[in-house]
Structure 1
Amino acid sequence: MRKKRFLPMLLLLAFSVGHAFAQKPVPERPRILISTDIGGTDPDDNQSMMHYLLYSNEFDCEGLVSSPSFGDGDKSEILRMIDIYEEDLPKLKQHARRYPSPEYLRSITKQGRHGAAPLVGYSTPTEGSEWIVRCARKNTARPLYVLVWGGLDDVAQALHDAPDIARKIRVYWIGGPNKKWGINAYVYIIEHFPDLWMIENNSTYRSFIAKYKQDDRWNGGFYDHYVKGCGFLGEDFFNYLGGKPKLGDTPSLLYMMDGDPSDPCRESWGGSFEKYSYTPRVVFSHQTTARDTAQIYSIIEWHVKGPVRKDIPVGTECITLDIARQKWQGYYMGDGNYMVKYSTYKVGTQPYTITSDIKGFPQQQGFITIENVFPGKHRSTDYRTGAQWYSDKVAPELFYDNNQGAMTVYKWRKDAIEDWGKRCQWLKYTDIKK
Structure 2
Amino acid sequence: MKKLIILIFSVFFAVQAFGQKNYVQLAKSPVPIKPRILISTDIGGTDPDDNQSMAHFLMYSDLFETEGLVSSPSYGSGSVSEILRMIDLYEKDLPKLKKHSDSFPSPEYLRSISKQGRLGAAPYRGYTTATEGSDWIIKCARKESEQPLWVLVWGGLDDVAQALHDAPDIQDKIRIYWIGGPNKKWSTNSYAYIVENFPNLWFIENNASYRGFIANYKQMDEFNGRYYDTFISGRGNLGKDFKNYLDGNTKLGDTPSLLYMMDGDPNDPTKESWGGAFVKFTHSPQVIFDRPTIAQDTVQIYSIMEFRVKGPEIDIPSDSICMHMTINKQTWGGFYLGDGIYAVRHATYALGTMPYTIVSDIPGFPEQNGEITIENVWPGKTRETDYKLGNNWFTDKSDEDLFDKNLHGFKTVSKWRIDVMIDWAKRWDWIR
Specify which of 369, 393, 414 is matched with residue 418 of structure 2. Answer: 414
Instruction: Provide, for residues 3-47 of structure 1, a one-character-per-residue CA deviation record: whole Å limited to 9, x for no partner.
Output: x569659979x99xxx99731121211000000000011110000
| TM alignment of 1:34-53, pairs within 5 A | 34-53=39-58
Specify which of 375, 378, 394 is matched with residue 382 of structure 2. Answer: 378
Counterpart residue identity of residue 375, structure 1: P
> How much does 1:339 deviate?
1.0
For 1:431, the equivalent position in structure 2 comes to none
Contact 2:319–2:335 under 8 Å retained in 1: yes
Contact 2:26–2:419 under 8 Å retained in 1: no
CA–CA distance in structure 1, aligned partners of residues 412 and 4 of structure 2: 33
What secondary structure sits across from 2:160 in the alignment? Answer: helix
Specify which of 358, 362, 367 is matched with residue 358 of structure 1. Answer: 362
Contact 1:200–1:389 under 8 Å retained in 2: yes
Distance 1:5 1:232, change over 3 A: closer
Specify which of 66, 69, 75 is matched with residue 64 of structure 1. Answer: 69
> How much does 1:118 deviate?
1.4
Contact 1:313–1:334 under 8 Å retained in 2: no
What secondary structure sits across from 2:66 in the alignment? Answer: strand
Contact 2:74–2:122 under 8 Å retained in 1: no
CA–CA distance in structure 2, aligned partners of residues 170 and 5 of structure 1: 46
> How much does 1:72 deviate?
2.1
Counterpart residue identity of residue 163, structure 1: P
CA–CA distance in structure 1, aligned partners of residues 65 and 362 of structure 2: 52
Specify which of 224, 227, 231 is matched with residue 226 of structure 1. Answer: 231
Quote the RMSD (CA, aligned, Å).
1.8
For 1:345, the equivalent position in structure 2 comes to 349
> How much does 1:280 deviate?
0.4
For 1:317, the equivalent position in structure 2 comes to 321
Most deviating of 347-356 and 63-72:
63-72
| TM alignment of 1:257-268, pairs within 5 A | 257-268=262-273
CA–CA distance in structure 2, aligned partners of residues 8 and 206 of structure 1: 39
Instruction: Provide, for residues 197-256 of structure 1, a one-character-per-residue CA deviation record: whole Å limited to 9, x for no partner.
Output: 000000010111111111111111111011000000000000111111110000000000
CA–CA distance in structure 1, aligned partners of residues 210 and 381 of structure 2: 23
| TM alignment of 1:146-185, pairs within 5 A | 146-185=151-190
For 1:217, the equivalent position in structure 2 comes to 222
CA–CA distance in structure 2, aligned partners of residues 134 and 95 of structure 1: 32
> How much does 1:265 deviate?
0.6
What secondary structure sits across from 2:239 in the alignment? Answer: helix
CA–CA distance in structure 1, aligned partners of residues 78 and 316 of structure 2: 32
For 2:313, the equivalent position in structure 1 comes to 308
Contact 2:74–2:186 under 8 Å retained in 1: no
CA–CA distance in structure 1, aligned partners of residues 243 and 4 of structure 2: 48
CA–CA distance in structure 1, aligned partners of residues 253 and 3 of structure 2: 46
Structure 2, unaligned stretches of length 5 or more?
Answer: 13-23
Structure 1, unaligned stretches of length 5 or more?
Answer: 429-434
> How much does 1:190 deviate?
0.5
Specify which of 297, 300, 303 is matched with residue 295 of structure 1. Answer: 300
CA–CA distance in structure 2, aligned partners of residues 46 and 7 of structure 1: 44
Counterpart residue identity of residue 242, structure 1: D
Contact 1:38–1:69 under 8 Å retained in 2: no
TM-score relative to the length of structure 1: 0.94
> How much does 1:316 deviate?
2.4
Instruction: Provide, for residues 351-378 of structure 1, a one-character-per-residue CA deviation record: whole Å limited to 9, x for no partner.
Output: 1111111112111111100001110111
Contact 1:31–1:61 under 8 Å retained in 2: yes
Distance 1:11 1:223, change over 3 A: closer
What secondary structure sits across from 2:38 in the alignment? Answer: strand
Specify which of 196, 206, 211 is matched with residue 191 of structure 1. Answer: 196
Specify which of 70, 85, 92 is matched with residue 87 of structure 1. Answer: 92
Q: Does 1:201 align with 2:225?
A: no
Counterpart residue identity of residue 242, structure 2: F
TM-score relative to the length of structure 2: 0.94
Distance 1:20 1:108, change over 3 A: closer
**Stretches (4+) displaced over 4 A:** 4-12
CA–CA distance in structure 1, aligned partners of residues 275 and 58 of structure 2: 17
For 2:59, the equivalent position in structure 1 comes to 54
Distance 1:334 1:415, change over 3 A: same
For 1:122, the equivalent position in structure 2 comes to 127
Counterpart residue identity of residue 238, structure 1: K
What secondary structure sits across from 1:318 in the alignment? Answer: strand
What secondary structure sits across from 1:128 in the alignment? Answer: helix
Contact 1:39–1:69 under 8 Å retained in 2: no
